[in-house]
Amino acid sequence: MATYEYVCRDCGYFDVRLPMGTAPSEYGCATCGHEARRVYSPPNISWVPPALAAAFGREEQSRDTPEVVTTPSPGRRRSQPPHPALARLPRP
């Protein structure tokens, strides 16, 4: 069974459970009896892993107020390059 969404001009939105692929383009409203047209919407995905939800939250917040880094993080500087050939490269 699949859930299909319809909208009635008088009553608003409502859901109908029908066998998959059998939903008509119009369906009678259970409240008032008028014909309601089918609405196409994205599937309802209600559960998101916490790590993904946190990443979405940080991404959304950074649109309006991005974090500005003024100094490098402590402990992240390397005293020597990882490969001897990189030591010969020019430094800024």
**pLDDT per residue over 29-59, tens digit each?**
989 989 999 998 767 666 778 888 888 888 8
Q: Is residue 92 predicted with pLDDT exceeding 80?
A: no
pTM (2 decimals)?
Answer: 0.47
Both tokens of residue 35? 């014909």
Comparison of pLDDT for 38 and 92, the residue scoring more:
38
| 79 secondary structure, DSSP code | S
Amino acid code (one letter) for 37: R
Who contacts 18 (Cβ-Cβ below 8 Å, separation ≥6)? 1, 2, 4
Q: Domains in the chain and their CATH numbers? A: 2-39 (2.20.28)
**pLDDT per residue over 73-84, tens digit each?**
776 666 665 788
Specify the pLDDT at position 49. 85
